[in-house]
Structure 1
């Protein structure tokens, strides 16, 4: 049942995100109410993904070396930092067009190299594929990127601090859930 919930959650996540790209007229016709519907679908998808991932039986596919955990942890710092680039409006906001999708790709790769079980491969592999496809769809729809004009002088520093704090919080949540991200 765990794998079924995981796959349903992933499909719902991808469908809710890609809907705007593949059916822009239909999404626009939904108006502001559509935002609530999409948000509810994304919330449901996250719940299904979490329940499915936690409930999936452990099926080992490969055995990553223990030192991959350390690479995962370093990559996760970059993922947190990348996720906040757009909001921080520092200099890096003018260098990375899709900072949140870049963060998802880093997060997925980091977890794929540190986890060798089937549920992890399904979850993180599908999220990596979704993030790559989403970037392609966005770039196709809007080929010319207008870099942000507003730059905050200390935006990158604030982002680094916030990213480090969030990293510690998320690592703590992993520990509370019985997953030890530091080996």
Structure 2
């Protein structure tokens, strides 16, 4: 339980800096430099996600069941997950999809978390996926208010080819997750 809580605090703490103190990140980058800041940010994120995943894995089956989702909700959740990987790719491949989504990564996280909340009814699921959903909603609201960050790397040009890669590549990753990767990475088969 301690690993799970510390993981949530570290992971969402570092990812919530821009929500709570929007200018602090830019001040730290100016003072430390971009590379040291990103190294510290990345290290805290990795430690947080590793603890969070380990703690979740330890608690998954011992956690209290709050509700038992009906079978049809599993199918609805799987359908809801279809745009998640295309949206993640759209974060890095600008085109019409990324422009329409405005913040494709945050949208992907919100959809992913909601789908998993619908399909999983244990207390630890509510804590994990609820935290991701709440964070993504809060970050999206905060993103509307904060000034844009200076680009750390040149952006790719927005093209229709990027949109095609986003859709085809994202759906291919979705299929790979459904058939193999979810079982391999998470230990829970999607298709039984």
Q: Normalising by structure 1, what TM-score? A: 0.88
Query: Do residues 37 (structure 1) and 45 (structure 2) align?
Result: no
User: Structure 1: which 5+ residue stretches go unaligned?
Assistant: none
Task: Check the 8 A contact 2:66/2:122 in 1, yes or no.
Answer: yes
Task: Check the 8 A contact 2:93/2:156 in 1, yes or no.
Answer: no
Residue 126 of structure 1: how far off its partner (Å): 0.5
Query: Do residues 126 (structure 1) and 131 (structure 2) align?
Result: yes
CA–CA separation in structure 2 for the residues paired with 1:42 and 1:165: 27
Q: 1:175 aligns with which of 166, 179, 183?
A: 183
Q: Stretches of 4+ moved more than 6 A in 1? A: none
CA–CA separation in structure 2 for the residues paired with 1:119 and 1:180: 18
Query: Equivalent residue for 1:27?
Result: 28
CA–CA separation in structure 1 for the residues paired with 2:183 and 2:26: 44
Distance 1:25 1:89, change over 3 A: closer
Task: Check the 8 A contact 1:73/1:181 in 2, yes or no.
Answer: no
Task: Check the 8 A contact 1:80/1:103 in 2, yes or no.
Answer: yes
CA–CA separation in structure 2 for the residues paired with 1:20 and 1:37: 15
Task: Check the 8 A contact 1:112/1:125 in 2, yes or no.
Answer: yes
RMSD of Structure 2 on Structure 1 (CA): 2.0
Q: Normalising by structure 2, what TM-score? A: 0.84
**Length, aligned pairs only:** 177
Q: 2:6 aligns with which of 2, 8, 11?
A: 8
Query: Equivalent residue for 1:142?
Result: 147
Q: Which moved more, 1:102-111 or 1:85-94?
A: 85-94
The secondary structure found in structure 2 opposite 1:154 is: helix
Query: Equivalent residue for 1:104?
Result: 109
Residue 170 of structure 1: how far off its partner (Å): 2.5
